[in-house]
Chain A
Amino acid sequence: MRFSISSGELLKNLQIISGAIPSNPVIPVLEDFLFDIKGNTLTITASDLDTTIKSVMDVRSDESGSIAIPGKILLETLKSFPEQPLTFNVSMDTKAIEITSSYGKYRLAGESGEDFPEMPAPPEEHNISIEGSKLKEAISTTIFATTTDEMRMAMTGVYFAVDMNDITVVATDAHKLVKYEMKNIPTNVVASFIVPKKGLSLLKGAMGNDDSVSLSFDRKNAFFSFGNTEISCRLIDQKFPDYTAVIPQNNNNILTISRTDILGSLKRIAIYANKTTNQVSFNISDGSLTVSAQDLDFSNEATEQLTCQYEGEPMTISFNAKFMIEMLNALHSENVRLELSSPNKAGLLYPDQDNSEVEIMMLVMPVMTHG
């Protein structure tokens, strides 16, 4: 099998899909990219069995066939070339691959394309169309809130709840939670599923803002396809915790403040907090927010006072600054609203803006205060 392709074009596509290649593959062939040629169409695939990503591109080729090419060496080779046409010459008997560039020849050993695991076929039903920019935003607003704790498998992924005309996306690590509601997306189905973090971050990196993404799913997998790319993610087969029950009602103490002001302040104050616990205190009273932290082990201490709008009882409440910073970073509005009920109950953070298409709610648990 012999084909010619632009080095830059190939590199661009491989770099997008290479994120799926696992660092410790279960089967060795997963260290490879699968090259599959039919006529003048080349489909390249990378997979870790749970997440599979495919990209289709044009190629000039003399025959059809498939070959698995070692990922790392191929990427390194392509990165070292300026843009130029390359010729791949594959011996289907020995699986030897010879790449010819304008500088010379490079030979590497491939593996049979048939050893590469098959990607599950996308289901016909539940085809939902979402704008790339919206989906991208939903992922980047929620994904940071997932946990890395493998003991809580369900929470290592992002929860999608589809409800006729809305899609709600939720992520939590048991200390913070983000709920992102996309409205007016016709789906005609009621269902929910949990997508692993890895697939979503690949998706986020691969899709452009202008792409229209088609989402379909069955009980085992979710599929995202756009442009010349397709991603399949094996769903996490677990029950997502009932997050609606834990959102406190009657949060009558409402703080409204400039997002960049409080973000900047937290970043500075956090430097003086204990490096393990990152705890900062909010002392809120009419029109003023005092942010402070101390690290008793090093005698470090910092305090800042910010102006804000506040309706409610004066209150002192403490949070992990890292959580707050992550949440504020994921928002874009000019002002944010923090709704509180009492110092030992969750705080609710909202972007202070009107948006009929999207509703965002972030929940963060405080650290216990005494007295």
Chain B
Amino acid sequence: MKFERAILHMDLDSFFVSVERLHNSALRGKPILIGGKSGRSVVSSASYEARKYGVHSAMPMRMALRLCPDAIVVSGDMERYSEQSRIITEIIREDAPLFEKASIDEFYLDLSGMDKYIGTWQWSKELRQRIIKETGLPISSALSINKLISKIGVDDAKPNGDQLIIAGTEREYIAPMSVRKIPSVGIKTQEKLHYMGVRTIQVLRDIPPALLKREFGKNGLHLWNKANAIDNTPVVPFHEQKSISTERTFREDSIDIKMLKSKLSQMVQKLAFELRSKKQLTANIAIKVRYADFNTFSKQKRIPYTANDRQLTEFAHTLFDQLYQRRQLVRLIGVRFSNLVHGNYQISIFDDTEEEINLLRAMDRLRKKYGAGVIRKG
């Protein structure tokens, strides 16, 4: 049997608009334009309601407002979008064997070979549902044998859907589409192809490659490959900033909240010590709970930069309380600190006492000398 790759493309639907709606529910169902309000700015994202009027991103704001005068203009908040993007990246990182972050709202996942163990398509659907559930943001995905077909396919999946292009059918799948659907075909190339009488991908793929090379140079060959659904570009793994994490599977599944929380505190203390030893601070804490039936839930929170046991334990417990909603046996809990920077903990005037800081330092000295497990708070 020929080995086929399995590439999943995930693309957030009108990402900036969705994030704004998450923060302001009054924006739901209304035509929204993200971009500056001055005359010279352009639309950086438009909601589906606004797109109905012919608005698209990169269009001058003035023109967009002429097409859709009722649209609500929201000036974008890049920091907020990056933060959401990072949260989604973390979810994907947790589950995916190999992934690439192509832009702030696009991901490619290489799931090749996974079919041996679990249904790739089922897995993809579940990941998509998990992202929707955990972030509240609509996302579309397409699964096929390469990046190109998945990228084209995701347009069919939108809004908020998924699309499977079964291996072997991809050539026929794209054949009836306009050549414009091929990424990299812009207006110029499209016009030239139209002039040659080429409108659909079907016609394009039957043109001899040599002819295309004569007309378009080296790009002509790429064009022919794409029209024939050939794309071998690999998924390049994406290294964002590192995180540190730990998790523990219990020998016996437990429902003893007191015990679970005490284990959680221990795990936090262990990680916080690691942070302080490396002279790092974290600004993001995540807690994971896996129930006896293997259903896994996680929740994370943005926090002020810290490496202090007390603060981190408080955050961990609050997150755990929010997360542990089912009265079910717990199989595993995990803690992760991400968004790390180099630095030492900024002591607070009112929250930290001298005794507490001294205790923390004394405990760290002992741990350094005798090992991390030598001492802990009860």
Q: Which A residues are within 8 Å of any B CB, using their own CB? A: 172, 174-177, 241, 243, 246, 274, 276-277, 279, 295-297, 318, 320, 344-346, 363, 365-371
Contacts and interface: CB of A to CB of B under 8 A. Distances in A.
B344 A318 contact: yes
B240 interface: no
Interface of B: 276-277, 279, 281, 305, 307, 341-351, 354, 357-358, 360-361, 364-365
A30 B364 CA distance: 55
Contacts of B360: 368
B305 A276 contact: yes
A241 B342 contact: no
A344 B358 CA distance: 8
B343 A277 contact: yes
A3 to B, nearest CB: 33
Nearest to A366: B347
Contacts of B279: 296, 370
A111 B368 CA distance: 70
Looking at chain A's contact residues, the main secondary structure is loop
The listed residue with most B CB atoms (<10 A of its CB), out of A274, A297, A344, A363, is A344
A175 B306 CA distance: 13
B342 A368 contact: no
Contacts of B347: 175, 344, 365-368
A174 B305 contact: no
B341 A277 contact: yes
Nearest to B280: A296
B348 A367 contact: no
Given A344-B347, A370-B276, 11 more contacts: A274-B341, A276-B343, A277-B305, A277-B341, A277-B344, A296-B279, A367-B344, A368-B344, A368-B347, A368-B360, A371-B365
Contact of B281 (A241, A277, A296, A344): A277
**Would you list the 7 A-B pairs with minimal beta carbon distance, nearest first?**
A277-B343, A367-B344, A368-B345, A365-B347, A276-B341, A296-B342, A174-B348
Given A175-B349, A246-B349, A344-B354, A367 B343 contact: yes
15 contacts: A174-B349, A174-B351, A175-B348, A246-B349, A276-B305, A277-B281, A277-B342, A277-B344, A277-B346, A320-B346, A344-B358, A344-B361, A368-B345, A368-B347, A369-B344
Contacts of B364: 370
A348 B317 CA distance: 35
Contacts of A370: 276-277, 279, 344, 361, 364
A303 B346 CA distance: 21
Nearest to A155: B350
B279 to A, nearest CB: 8
A102 to B, nearest CB: 28
A295 B342 contact: yes
B280 to A, nearest CB: 9
Contacts of B349: 172, 174-177, 241, 243, 246, 346, 363, 365
The listed residue with most A CB atoms (<10 A of its CB), out of B279, B346, B358, is B346
A289 B276 CA distance: 26
A281 to B, nearest CB: 10
A152 to B, nearest CB: 9
B350 A279 contact: no
A345 B345 contact: no
Contacts of B357: 344, 368
A297 B344 contact: no
A227 B279 CA distance: 55
A175 B279 CA distance: 19
B343 A279 contact: yes
A367 B361 CA distance: 13
Contacts of A366: 347
Contacts of B277: 370
A52 B376 CA distance: 54
The listed residue with most A CB atoms (<10 A of its CB), out of B281, B350, B357, is B350
A32 B305 CA distance: 41
Nearest to A320: B346
The listed residue with most A CB atoms (<10 A of its CB), out of B305, B307, B341, B351, is B341
Contacts of A318: 344
